[in-house]
């Protein structure tokens, strides 16, 4: 944050009151609660958790309320709070292959082991207003205690019974498989997908929140930066690699959304302890690779993993991840999405917002210097033009 001058404390304090008044809005309208935001604006909460680098749906909902729905400001609040938290260590790698699936789709195979699970999605809606949602009486969830948190306050996700009106009689209702193999693993079994192996020695992943980033950046650094990067920026870069700034036409190998278990090994115990479940979205994008002198033609992958239900973010991340792997495959880095320095330095919306919005703060001294410079240059220019246009009497004859 840039502060050029001090002063105006009374005026600044007055703006705090005005912000609170604007946030509350018309007092004739019931105030929205944090629990309502958490339960009914879950996609926004997921974005705030991703860009705020902190998994806590309640705090994400609070940040959205405090920021009047401004996602970047809410992410800023989350990051600021995150810096106050103690760090006990690193969790064990999560196993997304054992995810409790809520949604799982593939654009590459129609018949998958475990099946396609459409789950909750807007993909097949008609994008027409549902004016019934304006009727408050219909939107109240009867019997839901607004004070409870987490999945306890969510509608049941258990399989519907055969008598459920939402299930067509001709559709079979059966529990989902507990283990669903990933599509890239199916291709890998045939030797058609690039192998993914940990680096030599399986070193501890880089932590960009504690260590300075250097370029060219390794993949773990790139994935970390994109995981907390701005969704819109990554979406634009992902779009660019499919148009004139790239030549890829990837396929969605698989998108899966669900809950995974997080485990931690305390030093005093020496074995893993289950800390609970978190909701994740994982996307694996399948891309073509024509091969090289040393590598046979094969498919390559782009990877995206994000908090909550956030498919657009995970897909965008996977597209850019593949673009940033260009050097590994001997491809020329010609486009913005292939430049790791460009992507990593500009995808952080909290950094970007701070740099852009600091322009609103006082720059009186700087501007006065610029103003005097322009005035002096204009005066010198006018004097020079006057001298060039002066016509001598001898020349006039």
Q: Do 242 and 318 sit in the same domain of this protein? A: yes
Q: Do 225 and 277 sit in the same domain of this protein? A: yes
DSSP summary character for residue 132: G
Do the beta carbons of residue 337 and residue 324 sit within 8 Å? yes
pTM, two decimal places? 0.82
Q: Which of 89-103, 145-159, 225-239 has the lowest mean pLDDT?
A: 145-159
**Lookup result for tokens 């996700």:** 157
List pLDDT tens digits, range 66-81: 999 999 999 999 999 9
**369 falls within a domain:** no
Note the pLDDT of residue 171.
54
Q: Do 125 and 28 sit in the same domain of this protein? A: no
The Cβ of residue 310 has, within 10 Å, a number of other Cβ atoms equal to 26
Q: Is the pLDDT of residue 160 over 60?
A: no
DSSP summary character for residue 204: P
Reading phi first (left if > 0) and then psi (alpha if -120 to 50, else beta), residue 379 is in alpha
Q: Is the pLDDT of residue 299 over 60?
A: yes
Domain tally, the chain? 2
Identify the CA nearest to 60 among candidates 83, 37, 27: 37
Q: Do 236 and 318 sit in the same domain of this protein? A: yes
Q: Is the pLDDT of residue 219 over 50?
A: yes
Query: 39, 54, 82 — which closes off a domain?
Result: 82
List pLDDT tens digits, range 184-208: 888 888 888 888 887 787 788 889 8
Q: Do 77 and 101 sit in the same domain of this protein? A: no
Q: Which residue has the higher pLDDT, 384 or 64?
A: 64
Identify the CA nearest to 178 among candidates 286, 104, 287: 104
Q: Do 226 and 313 sit in the same domain of this protein? A: yes
Share of the chain above pLDDT 90, in %: 53
Q: Do 102 and 187 sit in the same domain of this protein? A: yes
Q: Do 125 and 21 sit in the same domain of this protein? A: no
Residue 201's SS3 state is: coil
Average pLDDT of the segment spanning 237-250: 85
Query: 37, 58, 82 — which closes off a domain?
Result: 82
Highest mean pLDDT among 3-17, 247-261, 303-317: 303-317
Do the beta carbons of residue 255 and residue 280 sit within 8 Å? no
Q: Do 64 and 182 sit in the same domain of this protein? A: no
Q: Is the pLDDT of residue 110 over 80?
A: yes
Note the pLDDT of residue 81.
97
Average pLDDT of the segment spanning 97-123: 89
Q: In what order do the strands lie in the sheet with 251-264?
A: 100-105, 251-264, 273-289, 298-307
Q: Is the pLDDT of residue 111 over 60?
A: yes
**374 falls within a domain:** no
Do the beta carbons of residue 159 and residue 115 sit within 8 Å? no
Average pLDDT, the chain: 85
Contacts of 209 (CB under 8 A, 6+ apart): 53
Do the beta carbons of residue 255 and residue 71 sit within 8 Å? no
Note the pLDDT of residue 164.
44
Q: Is the pLDDT of residue 363 over 80?
A: yes
Reported confidence tier of residue 156, pLDDT bands at 50, 70, 90: very low
Note the pLDDT of residue 47.
97
**Lookup result for tokens 């935001």:** 37
Highest mean pLDDT among 166-170, 244-248, 366-370: 366-370
**342 falls within a domain:** yes
**311 falls within a domain:** yes
Average pLDDT of the segment spanning 77-86: 95
Share of the chain above pLDDT 70, in %: 85
Average pLDDT of the segment spanning 207-220: 90
Q: Is the pLDDT of residue 364 over 60?
A: yes
Average pLDDT of the segment spanning 36-48: 96
**376 falls within a domain:** no
**19 falls within a domain:** yes
Q: Is the peptide bond before 83 cis (omega within 30 degrees of 0)?
A: no
Note the pLDDT of residue 2.
46
**368 falls within a domain:** no
Return d(Cα 114, Cα 188) in angstroms, integer.
18
Q: Do 75 and 211 sit in the same domain of this protein? A: no
**255 falls within a domain:** yes
DSSP secondary structure letters along 28-97: TSPPPPHHHHHHH-HHHHHHHHHHHT---HHHHHHHHHHTTT-HHHHHHHHHHHHTTS-----PPPP-GG
Q: Is the pLDDT of residue 125 over 60?
A: yes
Q: Do 192 and 284 sit in the same domain of this protein? A: yes
Query: 309, 331, 347 — which closes off a domain?
Result: 347
Range of the domain at 20: 9-82
Reported confidence tier of residue 63, pLDDT bands at 50, 70, 90: very high
Do the beta carbons of residue 204 and residue 224 sit within 8 Å? no
**DSSP strands (E only) in the chain:** 100-105, 251-264, 273-289, 298-307
Q: Do 220 and 126 sit in the same domain of this protein? A: yes
Note the pLDDT of residue 136.
65
């Amino acid at each position: 944050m840039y502060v050029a001058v001090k002063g105006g404390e009374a005026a600044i304090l007055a703006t705090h009151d005005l912000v609170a008044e604007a946030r509350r809005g018309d007092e004739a309208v019931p105030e929205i609660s944090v629990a309502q935001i958490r339960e009914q604006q879950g996609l926004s909460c997921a974005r705030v958790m991703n860009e705020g680098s902190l998994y806590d749906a309640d705090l994400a909902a609070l940040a959205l309320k405090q920021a009047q729905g401004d996602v970047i400001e809410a992410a800023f609040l989350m990051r600021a709070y995150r810096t106050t938290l103690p760090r006990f260590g690193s969790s064990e790698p999560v196993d997304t292959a054992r995810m409790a699936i809520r949604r799982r789709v593939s654009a590459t195979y129609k018949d998958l082991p475990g099946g396609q699970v459409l789950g909750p999605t807007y993909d097949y809606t008609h994008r027409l207003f549902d004016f019934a949602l304006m009727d408050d009486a219909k939107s109240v969830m009867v019997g839901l205690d607004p004070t409870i948190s987490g999945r306890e306050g969510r509608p049941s996700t258990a399989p519907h019974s055969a008598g459920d009106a939402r299930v067509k009689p001709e559709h079979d209702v059966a529990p989902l498989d507990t283990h669903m193999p990933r599509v890239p693993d199916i291709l890998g079994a045939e030797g058609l997908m690039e192998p993914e192996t940990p680096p030599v020695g399986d070193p501890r992943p880089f932590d960009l929140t504690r260590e300075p980033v250097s370029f060219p950046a390794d993949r773990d650094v790139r994935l970390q930066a994109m995981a907390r990067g701005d969704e819109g920026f990554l979406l634009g870069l992902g779009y660019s690699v499919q148009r004139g700034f790239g030549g890829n036409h990837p396929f969605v190998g698989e998108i899966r959304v669900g809950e995974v278990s997080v485990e931690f090994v305390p030093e005093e115990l020496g074995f893993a302890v289950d800390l609970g479940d978190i909701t994740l979205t994982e996307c694996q994008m399948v891309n073509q690779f024509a091969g090289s002198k040393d590598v046979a033609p094969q498919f390559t992958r782009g990877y995206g993993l994000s908090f909550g239900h956030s498919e657009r973010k995970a897909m965008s991340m996977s597209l850019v991840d593949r673009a940033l792997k260009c050097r590994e495959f001997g491809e020329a880095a010609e486009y913005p999405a292939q430049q790791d320095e460009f992507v990593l330095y500009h995808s952080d919306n909290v950094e970007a917002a701070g740099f852009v919005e600091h322009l609103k703060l006082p720059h009186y001294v700087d501007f006065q210097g610029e103003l005097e410079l322009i005035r002096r240059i204009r005066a010198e220019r006018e004097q020079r033009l006057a001298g060039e246009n002066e016509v001598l009497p001898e020349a006039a004859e």
